[in-house]
Amino acid sequence: MAKRLQVILKDPEYREIKRAARSRKMSIAEWVRRAIGQAHRQEPSGGPGKKLAAIRAAAQGDYPTADIDRMLAEIEIGYGSGAHP
């Protein structure tokens, strides 16, 4: 279900948004929807506790490790074998 949102802007703000929308050949409403969507995507998706929990869970894993020179050499060997994922 769609909802209507009313936002009061000062004239200079409105003119700037109108100019930005016109330069992209879109309506003001579409420009605002996209700006809100972009701002929403840039917001952190979880609080610090959620992020720390993810880091702690990842740190519990038993992942293969090696000296960096050895890992790079193995990667190069894999490239030369012609094998593709």
For residue range 32-77, list pLDDT tens digits in order: 999 999 998 888 777 888 889 988 998 888 877 788 999 899 889 9
30 contacts 21 by C-beta, under 8 angstroms: yes
Could you give the number of structural domains in the chain? 1
Report residue 80's pLDDT band, with 50, 70 and 90 as the boundaries: confident
18 contacts 11 by C-beta, under 8 angstroms: no
Place of tokens 């109108």: 18
Residue 9 placed within a domain: no
Residue 22 placed within a domain: no
CA 28 – CA 14 distance, rounded (Å): 9
Q: How far is CA 63 from CA 15, 22, 58, 59, 60, in A?
A: 55, 52, 9, 9, 9
For residue range 16-31, list pLDDT tens digits in order: 999 999 999 999 999 9
Residue 15 placed within a domain: no
Residue-number span of the structural domain to which 68 is assigned: 48-80
Residue 74 placed within a domain: yes
CA 39 – CA 36 distance, rounded (Å): 5
Residue 63 placed within a domain: yes
Residue 43 placed within a domain: no
Report residue 84's pLDDT band, with 50, 70 and 90 as the boundaries: low
